[in-house]
Amino acid sequence: MQSLLLMLGCGAAYLIAYHTYGRFLARKVFRLRADAPVPSREKQDGIDYVPTRKGIIFGHHFTSIAGTGPIVGPAIGIIWGWLPAILWVVFGCIFMGAVHDFGTLVVSLRNEGKSLSEVAARYINPRVRFIFFVIVFFALLIIIAVFGLVIATVFKLYPESVLAVWLEIPIALALSYAIYKRNANVVISTIVAVTAMYVGVGLGAWIEHVRPGMFSIPDMGRLSAGGTWTIILLIYAWIASTLPVTTLLQPRDYINAWQLFIMMALLVVGVVTASFTGGGLPLSAPAINHRLGAEVPPLLPMMFVTIACGAVSGFHSLVAGGTSPKQIAREPDAQFVGYGSMLTEGMLAVLIILCIAAGFGLGYEGLTGSEAWYAKYRTWIGGQTLGDRLRPVVVGAANIMQSMGIPQTLGFAIMGVFITSFAGTTLDTATRIQRYVVGELAEDLKLPRLGNRWIATTIAVVTAGLLAFTDTDKQGHLVFSGAGTGALRLWPLFGTTNQLLAALALLVVTMYLKRKGGFMYLLAGIPCLIMLVLTNWAMVINLRANYAAQKWPLVVVGAAVFLLAAWMTVETVIVFLSGRVRPAAVEPLDTK
């Protein structure tokens, strides 16, 4: 009953927050108006700016921000105990993450759908635009370069997911054609598309059972299977990013959203079923883990940069200031899309924590209960492979689904497709956002040709490919990485960079609200201050550790990001304390 009560309590907290704090932000702080002009209508072009139904844009936005973050983060962060993890994803999500997402979405919505880099220039000063651009470009570069490898890794771990993931593309194209070209009924079209997707899941599991290894790709000379998949996925990301958003990206994300809702429903029903059958579903993980190894970093501040998505994540600000504001049809939809999506992701993180804290204890390599949990979490899994980090989630979820009669093999397939699909949406969205970043930077530099969507996308993909396939040998010379693992050198910086980006996004929202007058800016300002302290603290710890280990690329790049963020923060504080908050240079869509 512990797991069931915890799940119900967290779910109730999110529902209450949406209808109280979320409504307060929408009506009293941001004052959303149904008749206010929005970029999707004012700049409609049928490619990026497209007015979209609230339910569809919710699905697109939600799957774009979720990715694998609310899966991997809790899978690592629960080592400190389930209680701090739950408290962070509930209260952090309600008062920080959802405010961050909602605020950045509204600010971009009221500034022509521009990125936060451009908005920062309007509300602080032009110098911070370049600082923000550099940090955002760096974060997206790592995401694009690494997530192709992430998907390739999951394909290798769970080959039964390969068929279903690729079948989503023709299904999404067909859904787009049915809704936008044939004006088909959205509900019926959704049911058909989601059913087809799950038929693909079952078919992939069956084929892999009958013909194991059928979907595997062999190594080809110096190019490994992971490297081949990375190239294929980067080519796909280029195509997806240049197509109109309603052709592939939006419908694919929408289908994935329903995949997630169904998966979450299965886990909810599974928790209820397991709680009333057999020995129940007790929490095998400790509330607070007192048996930590020497290699495990301190809970404060490291848990707050380890568990990002599900609580607060800077990547969300790139989506909220990238693809989503260009598709919002009415200002009031921003509460559902921005605040609501983040709360839903928080609930996903809660379910993932329950999969690890309770479901994993139902059985792992012949062990059960706390013995099973400690067998996996006796050491710090943050430094282990992606497969090691995902295993507690997949095994725990499959164990919970087994209580409903779902075979473990099918459970593995469902989770494999779910994880891969969400990694795919992150890759798609990150590539498109990087295209926007390159385009805006080209506009500022008076180089319009580089802002062309094909050229800008090529820059985004090629730079990520160079990072993925370039590594260094022991002598520090650049060498070809046939496995596509080059970006993993910089991946350890992503956690702190991502959370630093969240703090800087909250900084922009704070300055936006400061310009409106009153003290409402504190609702973003206090979370911003907390994130700045925690993230910079974590960055200093990491820099010292990397310096001691003589990991010079991490030291140099990490120090550069740290100094750029400090520079932007100082610039903002000077403007804030001067009392002369910069008015927007051009803000035709701001409803004031």
Chain centroid to CA 253? 13
**Are 318 and 140 in contact, with CB atoms under 8 Å apart?**
yes
What would the two tokens of residue 389 be?
């980090």
Q: Looking at the domain 2-578, which fold is it? A: Amino acid/polyamine transporter I (1.20.1740)
What number of CA atoms fall less than 13 Å from residue 33's CA on the CB side? Answer: 9
pLDDT of amino acid 357: 96
pLDDT of amino acid 591: 42
Report the alpha-carbon distance of residue 428 to residue 63 in Å, rounded: 11
Q: Does the structure show a pLDDT above 80 at 582?
A: no
pLDDT of amino acid 190: 93
**Are 108 and 325 in contact, with CB atoms under 8 Å apart?**
yes
What would the two tokens of residue 199 be?
């038929």
Share of the chain above pLDDT 90, in %: 59
State the angle between helix axes of 386-402 and 249-275 in degrees (0 to 180), rounded to the nearest 10. 60
Q: Which residue has the higher pLDDT, 259 or 191?
A: 191
What would the two tokens of residue 310 be?
């599900």
Q: Does the structure show a pLDDT above 70 at 401?
A: yes
pLDDT of amino acid 154: 82
pLDDT of amino acid 383: 78
Chain centroid to CA 223? 29
Quick one: average pLDDT of 570-586?
A: 70
pLDDT of amino acid 531: 95
Closest listed residue to residue 51, CA positions, set 249, 334, 329, 330: 329
Report the alpha-carbon distance of residue 139 to residue 144 in Å, rounded: 9
Give the tens place of pLDDT for each residue, 434-490. 999 898 888 888 888 888 889 999 999 999 999 999 887 766 677 888 888 888 888
Quick one: average pLDDT of 333-339?
A: 97
Other beta carbons less than 10 A from residue 478's beta carbon: 10
Report the alpha-carbon distance of residue 334 to residue 27 in Å, rounded: 11
Q: Does the structure show a pLDDT above 60 at 584?
A: no
The 3-state DSSP composition of the chain as helix, strand, coil percent (nearest 5) reads 75, 0, 25
Q: Does the structure show a pLDDT above 90 at 551?
A: no
Quick one: average pLDDT of 36-45?
A: 95
pLDDT of amino acid 581: 54
Q: Which residue has the higher pLDDT, 342 or 277?
A: 342
What would the two tokens of residue 118 be?
């451009």
Other beta carbons less than 10 A from residue 591's beta carbon: 15
Q: Which residue has the higher pLDDT, 322 or 401?
A: 401
How many helical (H) and strand (E) elements, i.e. helices and strands, does the chain have?
A: 24, 2
pLDDT of amino acid 323: 87
pTM here is: 0.91
pLDDT band at 387 (very low <50, low <70, confident <90, very high): confident
Strand partners, 472: 478
Quick one: average pLDDT of 103-124?
A: 92
Q: Does the structure show a pLDDT above 50 at 585?
A: no
Is the omega angle on the peptide bond into residue 84 within 30 degrees of 0, that is, cis? no
pLDDT band at 587 (very low <50, low <70, confident <90, very high): very low
User: For every residue of 426-447, which 3-state class applies, written as one string?
Assistant: HHHHHHHHHHHHHHHHHHHCCC
Chain centroid to CA 194? 22
Closest listed residue to residue 464, CA positions, set 166, 226, 237: 237
Report the alpha-carbon distance of residue 2 to residue 413 in Å, rounded: 28
**Are 496 and 542 in contact, with CB atoms under 8 Å apart?**
yes
pLDDT of amino acid 111: 94
Which residues, other chains included, contact 124 with Cβ-Cβ below 8 Å and sequence gap of 6+?
508, 511, 568, 571, 572, 575, 582
Report the alpha-carbon distance of residue 432 to residue 245 in Å, rounded: 9
Give the tens place of pLDDT for each residue, 497-512. 999 999 999 999 999 9
Other beta carbons less than 10 A from residue 274's beta carbon: 24
Helices (H), 18-161: 23-24, 39-42, 54-66, 69-77, 82-87, 98-109, 116-123, 126-157
Report the alpha-carbon distance of residue 441 to residue 431 in Å, rounded: 15
Q: What does 333-397 look like in DSSP terms, one character per residue? A: HHIIIIIIHHHHHHHHHHHHHHHHHTGGGG-BTTB-HHHHHHHHHSS-GGGS-HHHHHHHHHHHH
Which stretch, 83-97, 144-158, 260-274, 507-521, has highest mean pLDDT? Answer: 83-97
pLDDT of amino acid 586: 41
What would the two tokens of residue 426 be?
């992150």
Q: Does the structure show a pLDDT above 50 at 292?
A: yes
What would the two tokens of residue 287 be?
């509330």
Give the tens place of pLDDT for each residue, 55-66. 999 998 998 898
**Are 361 and 43 in contact, with CB atoms under 8 Å apart?**
no
Q: Which residue has the higher pLDDT, 219 or 341?
A: 341
Quick one: average pLDDT of 286-301?
A: 92
Quick one: average pLDDT of 86-92?
A: 98
pLDDT of amino acid 318: 93
Report the alpha-carbon distance of residue 428 to residue 161 in Å, rounded: 18
Q: Does the structure show a pLDDT above 60 at 590?
A: no
**Are 280 and 13 in contact, with CB atoms under 8 Å apart?**
no
Quick one: average pLDDT of 301-310?
A: 94
Lowest mean pLDDT among 149-153, 293-297, 427-431: 149-153
Give the tens place of pLDDT for each residue, 218-244. 888 788 888 898 899 999 999 999 999
Please count the residues of the chain. 592
pLDDT of amino acid 488: 82
Report the alpha-carbon distance of residue 437 to residue 402 in Å, rounded: 45
pLDDT band at 588 (very low <50, low <70, confident <90, very high): very low
Report the alpha-carbon distance of residue 358 to residue 564 in Å, rounded: 42
Quick one: average pLDDT of 379-388?
A: 84
Torsion of CA 435, 440, 443, 447, to 10 degrees: -30
Q: Does the structure show a pLDDT above 70 at 73?
A: yes
**Are 65 and 280 in contact, with CB atoms under 8 Å apart?**
no
**Whole-number average pLDDT of the chain:** 90
